[in-house]
Structure 1
Amino acid sequence: MEREAEFRVLSSLLSDALRGKGGAALVTGPAGYGKTTLLRAFGGAAAARGAVFLSATATRTDNDPWELFDQILRHPAIPSTVPGALSHDLAEGGDRTLSAAQLHEIWKPVQELARDTPVVIAVDDAHHADDTALRGLLYLSRRLEAAPIVVVAALSSCPLDERALFSAEMSSQPHCRHVQLGPLSAADVADMVADDHGPEAAEFDRLSGGNPLLLGALIEDARDRGASARPGSIAGDHYVKAVWRFLHRGHPALVALAQAVAVLGEAGSPALLGETLAIDPMVAAQGLNTLEAGGLVDAAGFRDERARDALYAKVPARERTKMLLRAAAVLQQEGAPALRVARLLAAADDIGEPWMVGVLRNAADQEQRDGDFPCAVRYLRLARQAVARGSAEEAQITSDLAAVEWQLDPLSVVRLLPDLEAAAWAGHLRSDQTENLVTYLLWHGQREKAITHLTDREGNVRPTGWTSRFRSWLYPALLTGVGGAPADERSVEVAVIGGARIDDDILIAAEQALLNTRLDDSALVPALTALAVLVYTERLDRAGVWIDTLLKAADRRGSVTWRALVSTANSLIDVRRGVLRSATTHANRALSLISHRSWGMAIGLPLSSALDAATGRGRHDIAASLLTVPLPDGIFNTLSGLYYMHARGCHHAAIGRHMTALADFDSCGDLMREWEIDQPALIPWRSDAALAGLRLGRTAYARSLLAEQDELTQPWDMRTRAATLRVRALLAEGRDRVALLTEATTTAEQTADLVGLATGLVDLSRAQRTVGDTDAARTTGLRAQLLIEQSGLEALARQLPRDVLTAKKTRAERKPKPPQPAPSTRELSDAEQRVASLAAAGFSNREIASELFITVSTVEQHLTRVYRKLKVTRRPLLAKALNSHA
């Protein structure tokens, strides 16, 4: 086992013996390091070179010194009568302390044998030998100068097995050599596994720690599994058995110590292990050093989890619990951090004393701040089991537990709602905890119960902070139904839904709210409402920046619910930008992060986004499958349900079911009027209903809806104004239609709405063709085609006249390449052209950076130069400028 250097030391002693000079050696090393193998190899070499090899192995259970001598002397070269006679003489003496005369008699046969041939005596596991037997070896080792005898004793280097006096005496002899076996080097390990598992040599080295015993077992495991064994999966049954052999061949304390390390994990310091096992901390420290030297553990714990699990399983459950609780108590007394103590309590899955509840709650709070929500849930569940039912303490723990579970899966909170309600009625919840309770009830459709916690006995609304705003977003009827904020209140949280005038002050307040967002339940509404202000005022780039920030924070904290919500917001923004493939990706991610039932009343948001994206791309099969997702009862009493209903109506309209579509649009309108939130920035249902009405021949109905929408549209809402103009154009003829569609596309260019702009351009191209403006129609159509290709609007592409596609192809094939112009301020570099094209297609700066493998800062620099060269000031104008520049 790669011990050539050590073997040469012993061989040199044998050579001296063959020349008539005796010697001795101490071979030390941890269990499994190959001491026995080395002695056997040396014995074989000695016999091959003509020496007599006498061997013995000491055992921990043998306390009779004669046992060791008997093994040595029972050799064919020694008369068989000698051991028996010596044994009889010692037994007759009845004294375990051997005199010099008795030792002389014991070694006399060996010395006589050495007169004719060199003798090698090897004693394995000498640290187990009786003190008397070791004295006998020392007696012989002092008399080797004139006799060709070699004495080799192998001992464990474990401090717990140390035989200090024997080792010191042997080492002091001038003819004694010390052979210390260390771990195999990485190169040695690589040599041993190179034939079959060379690429995994580093893993073999890591798992074995250079211990030959463990390495051999790993090689066997790898061979059993064949060539398919992968790093991290090498260790198997052979390895586990080797670990047990290592432990049982060492000091008895090692097994208990290794099991305690397995139970306590990273908390297992020498002092704590000593307290837990009721042993001297110095003994624990020495044992840990032995486990580390033997390759079982390193600074991070067990090198392989299979070994840890095997040791852990051997500890009876009751003993494990006692060990963990004892260790937790010791750490608590020492003032250890709550997290360290709580991990032991959670592993014990039991609470023995009242102080442990406080520790678990403190640790849960820390884990929540650090984003380890599963651990926080475990601590709080354990703490909740240990307090009195119905107590104020249980109410606080239950509220904390619900807040943490909400971050992982909103559905898990449902089972806690009855207890939380009872706690609220008993006055055991703080106001912020009551706000959270109302949020959970509204989310899961328990509206009436939520209202009872929003009002006092006289029916007046309690001031409940952000929860009062939340009800306005999820249940708009509650905004006025139970005395909510007045519609003209100028604040970020009601600006959009209440139809308030949005100016620079509100926009600044929205960004400030996002800047101060902390990912907990209280931040849910501020973040979403502030994003809504940016989205509905076409600040989509800014909203996208905040989405990235929130998503990174959610990923960092491990909040699944927040990731789902932010992904939904990302998808909704992509739908408004017309980047439908990206919108589909984000919506699908949101729906996969938590179950449909976990979404509660909010499921209409990701479903509506996915529906809009599928409809815009002409993927009506996907849209139809989305409509089969079960919806919770009462969803159409929520704003989420309105978005879903509107998206469903758009799908029906796209496949020609105009009557069904109109029913959805009219229902949206009825509810929005009833809830007093009827303003187009939220849902522009009138333009869609007017279009469906026109398809059904209801011209007067369509005109009245468009007039109403014109009156309600806010000055900043260019998106809705463009949509109104597009539909109104269908009521006009000839050049009046061309004029209205031209105004509609000009208005759409002031927004990020690529779908609306592309739709307007397609309609304009067709209208221009109708009045005979063939060249203008072709130019407009080509521009629409560019947007359609950029946005993935497969359905809209089919509405383009065939000659537009033909003209585009002919133009590309026949147009001669112009001579390369001299550089000018207006010429775009290749890099600027790539960035500008993606920006015109609706990609965010982050997406452009990812697509082109550059930094966001580089994207911003390119766009600054593009705007200057093309003389545009807004991103929505890029597509037209690029087309003209081409």
Structure 2
Amino acid sequence: MGLVERTEAIETLDGLLAASVAGKGRVAVVTGPVATGRTELLNTFADRVVDLNGLAITATGSRSEQDLPLGVMSQLLLDAPLVDEERRRAMNLLYEGAQTLTHGDGGTHRLDPQIVHSLCTVLLELSRRYPLVVVVDDLDRADHASLVCLSYLARRVRFASMLALFSHSGHRRSGTPVLDVDGLARPPHGAHIVLATLSAEGVREMAAEALDEDDATRLAPRWHQISGGNPLLVGGLVEDHRQALADGVAPGGEPVPGGQYAEAVVSCLRRTEERMQRVAQALAILPDAASLDKLTGLEPAQVAQAVRALTAAGLLHRGDYRHPVAREAVLAQLDDGERVALHRRAAEIAYHEGAVSQVVAEHLLRAGQADDPWVVPVLEDAARQALRAGRVDAAVDYLRLAWQTCADDRHRAKIMTTMMRAGWRINPSMSTGYLPELTAAMQNGFLRSGDALVLTKALLWNGQFADARSVFEQLNASADEHDQETLTELAIARPLLRSTYPSFFPMLRPQAPLAPTPIPTVSAGHRLEAASALATVLTRGPSEPLAAGVERILHNSRLDEMSLDTVESALFALTYSGHADRAVPWCDTFVEEAGARQAPSRLARLAAIRAEISLRLGELPAAVRHARLALESMPPSSWGVAVGGPLAALITAATAMGDYDLVREQLDQPVAEEMFQTRYGMHYLHARGRYSLAIGQLPFALRDFEQCGELAARWKLDVPGLIPWRTDAAEALLRMGRPGPARKLVDEQLARCGKDAPRVHGMAMRLLAATSELRHRPMFLRQAVDLQTAGGDEYELARALADLTEAYHVLGESRRAGMIARRARALADKAQAQPLLKMLTRGGNWDESESVAQPLNAAGGAAMLSDAEHRVAALAAEGYTNREISMKLYITISTVEQHLTRTYRKLNVTRRTDLPANLNLDFSVAG
């Protein structure tokens, strides 16, 4: 690429050359940051001298030849067009001078001044025949003897037809003698030309030589920021852009530095002195200029000079690399040993200077090893901070290094436990790798009791029940030695086991009733309260104060705790207590937070809860969607025995939707036998039974429902809010032609349902109607509809309405049947419950001629109704008579008629069969 923004420098050199041709010798020095075009300027000017019939002889200083005596002078004399006699004399002088320096007497190794004079005389005599330009690039890298000769020559060019043109970086290494050339290159007898990095316009001009003008204009500002205007770095960016275009990638407005830019960075550093390279490497490790002297071993002044030089070269900005690719390129040039040593030293410096633990830990991690006693506590603290910030992968890495470094067996076991808990956020299957060692640590007495409970949870999750029993036995054996933390964890473990792993609940010794365990932290208190609420709901049933307390816990909970137990227990407590609708906003908030924190394990577990919530609200597509998310965020193999939760929700919802292929796909998933010793196993059995019932395999369905009942009774978890196994078993028995046993189960279920279980109560009333005389069925089904409306399960509401439709049809009340069928179909369609929808469409022979037609504006006009009109219209749309409506709403029949008259007028309808079927979906009917 051309000499962009170097016109003034060329013009200055042209003027000096003209003076030299006139016999007025001149000295010029070109300086500037590394890779800013000094060499290209000198080479270009040397070519111009030849074009003007002058003579240019050139040489270049090199770090590898700095110990070669008279190396630069030999380059110049070999490049000069000397006659044979002159060349022999010059070579003899070079040989004699080199011998003197190599084998000097007394170890002084000084060059004979006569040799200096004679060598320079050769060049001075040459200038009498030609206008001569002596060009030496990288003068600061020339050998000492050549520097002495060139300094001598520069003092004698004034009255010769010679221009002495030198370049150097402007940053001499320590110990190099100060040369006279800088002092001689002053006006009027010389010039000091300083090359700066390019301006933004210069970058654009340089890019325009190789790219489309529009691309150059668009990219130049950002390229200038990344390169600092260094021409070599700009060239790398241009080449990366061209390569991206060649690869079919069309970069947008943000340039993407790649391999060519990285190579340009490395090339820049290779041209600098060793101390600048050391500082550059140290900055790539520890971007803290205040500590670079300690990391490099250089004097602070030397470090400051190197930072200024690297900044001037466009590599740094405000003490740091302008782009991460530059940093990575510098690090890539370090061998493994150098990188480890620098990171270890940086960790020590950061620690002793009070840096935050995560900064120290990152250096320790990159070093990969550490032996100092302060290392383990720092890594543990960094892990805690990372977990609070949601950086779980980093926390696990810190803990793994701490575990590898720690020499104390008890402390190692504690670290591994923390590591397992942290990894649980990403994938519970990560814990399987820790279980054998933690189990061994437990057996050897190295695991604290509190950590032993963490181990137990992991063993239970992974279905390793035999090992879990062994841990429980050891916990009981050391009960008198438990510390406060262990007592707290045991207090929390009791209700959790009671709710999820009930077969292990008896293995925990009960607390003394007169000595309750004090809870040391608010977080632990919330965990205990939430776990206890869940256990209470599943053993005694729900209550409004309990639900309010659970919502208070959720309001004060965050996902930055080490355990999801609090949120999970609270959400399940709300869901099982019949308040699934109240659990929705909380669960959605936590699902969103888990996604934002990139915690797949937590996202999966929360999505499984959300699927269960959707299922209990009759939102079948949502249940399938959330269950799929749970199983995709965390594969079934990582779910352990808890896989029964999302699988059950998916199977139940897909069965109701008629997607039997999806159900069979899930039932083909292998599950551990140990799952059936957990609450998740009960859900799975119930879901499998619902599928068997749907496809007509009634004995298999009844077997699964009865097994649910046996487990519920054995574990004392037989509450309506958990699994309504009696209603499903009754339905199976009815379809098997056994109404007597079916009626008995229905009566038992009704006896267990209180006012806090309207959903299950409604299911039982629907089955009660099926076991009752035909003339009583509408009454029971009306109650079932009211209960499901209050319970909020739209799918079960659709089922109750479908049965009510059939009952009215059989009783010959076709008009009522038609009205109710409309609403049942609307609900079934919303839930995508295809089997129910098909039954409603083809199974009824009721007269729909009066109920199908509906004015287009009727549904929209519902918003114009008053609350009282809305309540009356909603009940009328469900098929209630005026007398039934008056009794239900405690108003007179005349008032009902007046409300209906006004409703017909507002909705532009003429009869009750034209009322919108979704009125009750938009408004909660009292009573």
What is the TM-score of this pair, normalised by structure 1? 0.82
TM-superposed deviation, 1:303: 6.5
The answer for the alignment partner of 2:902 in structure 1 is none
1:644-684 Cα distance to aligned partner (Å, 9 max, x none): 11011111111221221111101101111111111111101
Q: How does 1:544-559 map to 2 (within 5 A)?
A: 544-555=584-595, 557-559=597-599
1:786 match: secondary structure: helix
Please show how residues 723-738 of structure 1 align to structure 2 within 5 Å.
723-738=763-778
Counterpart in 2 of 1:44?
47
Contact in 2 for aligned 1:189/1:204 (Cα 8 Å): no
Residue 335 of structure 1 aligns to a residue whose secondary structure is coil
Q: How far did residue 78 of structure 1 move?
A: 5.7
Q: State the shift of 1:88 in Å.
A: 4.2
Corresponding residue number in structure 2 for 1:864: none
1:695 pairs with 2:712: no
Tell me, in whole angstroms, the C-alpha distance in 1 between the residues paired with 2:305 and 2:153.
32
- After superposition, the Cα gap between the structure-2 partners of 1:107 and 1:585, relative to the gap in structure 1 and judged at 3 Å, is same
Bigger Cα displacement from structure 2, 35-44 vs 607-616 = 35-44
Letter in 1 for 2:643: I
Residue 248 of structure 1, aligned match among 266, 270, 274: 270
Question: Structure 2: which amino acid aligns with 1:346?
Answer: L
- Output the amino acid matched with 2:502: P
1:351-387 C-alpha deviation (Å, 9 max, x unpaired): 2233322222222222222222222222222222333
Q: 1:807 to 1:189 in 2, by over 3 A?
A: farther
Does residue 470 of the first structure (1) align with residue 488 of the second (2)? Answer: no
Tell me how far apart the structure 2 counterparts of residues 177 and 533 of structure 1 sit (CA, whole Å): 82
- How far has the Cα of 1:773 moved from its partner? 2.7
| Alpha-carbon distance change, 156 to 434 in structure 1, aligned in 2, over 3 angstroms | same
Where does residue 391 of structure 2 map in the other structure?
372
**Closer, same or farther in 2 for the Cα pair 1:157/1:596, shift >3 Å?**
farther
2:469 equivalent to 1:443:
no
Q: Is the 8 A contact 1:680 1:712 kept in 2?
A: yes
Partner residue, 1:865: none
Q: Find out whether 1:153 has 2:166 as its counterpart.
A: yes
Matched, 1:566 2:581: no
Matched to 1:14, the amino acid is D
The partner residue of 2:689 within 627, 649, 664 is 649
Letter aligned with residue 339 of structure 1 = Q
Q: Which residue is equivalent to 2:29?
A: 26
Rounded Cα–Cα distance in structure 2 between residues aligned with 1:498 and 1:752: 23
Q: What is the percent sequence identity of the aligned residues? A: 30
The root-mean-square deviation of aligned C-alpha atoms, in Å, is 4.2
Where in structure 2 are there 5+ consecutive unaligned residues?
101-109, 514-529, 868-905, 908-916
- Of 489, 497, 509, which residue of structure 1 is paired with 2:538? 497
Query: Which of 661-670 and 268-277 deviates more?
Result: 268-277
Residues 62 and 129 in structure 1, CA contact (< 8 A), matched pair in contact too? yes
Paired letter, 1:172 = R
Of the candidates 171, 196, 211, which is equivalent to residue 230 of structure 2? 211
Aligned to 2:72: 68
Equivalents in 2 of 1:17, 1:458: separation in Å? Answer: 97
Rate the CA distance shift 1:799–1:179 in 2: closer, same or farther, 3 A.
same
Contact 1:438 1:467 in 2 (8 A): no
Task: Identify the match of residue 298 of structure 2 among 279, 304, 313.
Answer: 279
- Aligned with 2:111 (options 91, 96, 116): 96
Tell me: CA distance 1:825–1:800, structure 2 relative to 1, closer, same or farther (3 Å): closer
Tell me how far 1:530 sits from its aligned partner. Answer: 1.8
- Residue correspondence of structure 1 range 136-151 to structure 2 within 5 A: 137=150, 149-151=162-164
Evaluate the alpha carbon distance shift between residue 530 and residue 242 of structure 1 in structure 2; reply closer, same or farther with a 3 A threshold.
closer
* Pairing 1:393–2:411 present: yes
Given that 1:645 and 1:664 are in contact with CA atoms closer than 8 Å, whether structure 2 keeps it comes out as yes
Moved more, 241-250 or 196-205: 196-205
> Structure 2 vs 1, CA of residues 816 and 123 (structure 1 numbering), >3 Å: closer, same or farther?
same
1:67 to 1:527, Cα distance in 2 relative to 1, 3 A? closer
**180, 183, 186: which one aligns with 1:169:** 183
1:227 to 220, 240, 247: 247
- Cα separation, 2, equivalents of 1:665 and 1:458: 39
Counterpart AA for 1:228? G
Partner SS state of residue 499, structure 2: helix
Task: Show CA shifts across 1:172-220 (max 9, x none).
Answer: 3344142313046352464245249768777866765543334444555
**Contact between 1:11 and 1:42, CA under 8 Å: does it hold in 2?**
no
Equivalent in the alignment of 1:342: 361
Give the Cα–Cα distance (whole angstroms) in 2 for the partners of residues 806 and 194 of structure 1.
Answer: 77
8 Å CA contact 1:325, 1:345 repeated in 2? yes
Provide the secondary structure at the position in 1 that maps to 2:668: coil
Alignment partner for residue 179 of structure 1, among 184, 194, 210? 194
Aligned partners of 2:180 and 2:534: how far apart in 1?
A: 83
| C-alpha separation in 2, matches of 1:778 and 1:386 | 76
**Partner in structure 2 of residue 580 of structure 1:** 620
Provide closer, same or farther for how the CA distance between residues 244 and 531 of structure 1 changes in structure 2, counting only shifts above 3 A: closer
Which letter does structure 1 place at the counterpart of 2:647? L
The whole-number CA distance in structure 2 between the counterparts of 1:70 and 1:414 is 71
Cα distance in 2 between the residues matched to 1:165 and 1:806 = 112
CA contact (8 A) 2:263 2:329 kept: no
SS of corresponding position for 1:55: strand
Contact 1:442 1:471 in 2 (8 A): no
Alignment correspondent of 1:194: 211
For residue 805 of structure 1, report the CA deviation from its aligned partner.
13
What secondary structure, in the 3-state scheme, does the structure 2 residue paired with 1:801 have? helix
Following superposition, the deviation at residue 564 of structure 1 comes to: 1.8
Task: Tell me if structure 2 keeps the 8 A contact 1:563–1:590.
Answer: yes
| Higher alpha-carbon deviation: 92-101 or 773-782 | 92-101
Distance 1:259 1:821, change over 3 A: closer
| Residue 340 of structure 1: how far off its partner (Å) | 2.1
2: CA distance, partners of 1:350 / 1:522: 27
Change (3 A) 1:277 1:458: closer
The unaligned stretches of length 5 or more in structure 1 are 828-868, 871-876
When residues 51 and 581 of structure 1 are mapped into structure 2, their CA distance, relative to the original with a 3 A threshold, is farther
Which residue is equivalent to 1:842?
none
Query: Do the aligned partners of residues 884 and 744 (structure 1) sit closer, same or farther apart at CA in structure 2, a change above 3 Å counting?
Result: closer
Equivalent in the alignment of 2:882: none
| Pair 1:490–1:588, CA change in 2 (3 A) | closer
* Alignment-derived partner of residue 857 in structure 1: none
Please point out which of 125, 130, 137 is paired with 1:109: 125
In the alignment, the residues of structure 2 paired with residue 740 and residue 806 of structure 1 have an alpha-carbon distance, to the nearest angstrom, of 20
TM-score (structure 2 length as normaliser): 0.79
Aligned to 2:139: 126
Secondary structure in structure 2 of the residue aligned to 1:496: helix
Contact residue 472 and residue 507 of structure 2 kept, 8 A: no
| Matching residue of 1:358 | 377
Asked whether the equivalents of residues 680 and 720 of structure 1 are also in contact (C-alpha less than 8 Å), the reply is: yes
| Structure 1 match to 2:818 | 778
Task: Give the conservation status (yes or no) of the 8 Å contact 2:207–2:238.
Answer: no
Which of 720, 726, 749 aligns to 1:680? It is 720
Letter in 1 for 2:62: T
**Which whole-Å CA distance do the structure 2 matches of 1:543 and 1:600 have between them?**
25
Contact 1:439/1:470 (CA < 8 Å) preserved in 2? Answer: no
Q: 1:97, 1:532 → 2: CA distance?
A: 96
Tell me which amino acid in the other structure corresponds to 1:227: D
Q: Distance in 2 between matches of 1:735 and 1:717?
A: 26
Superposition deviation, residue 711 in structure 1: 0.6
SS at match of 1:413: helix
Q: Does 1:452 align with 2:455?
A: no
Pair 1:703–1:189, CA change in 2 (3 A): farther
Deviation, structure 1 residue 428: 4.8
Matched residue of 1:469: which SS?
A: helix
Task: Identify the range of structure 1 (157-166 vs 467-476) with the bigger mean alpha-carbon deviation.
Answer: 157-166
Conserved? CA contact 1:78–1:113, under 8 Å: no
The partner residue of 2:785 within 745, 749, 752 is 745
Per-residue CA shift, 1:37-83, capped at 9, x if unaligned?
22222223333344433322222214567543454455666656445
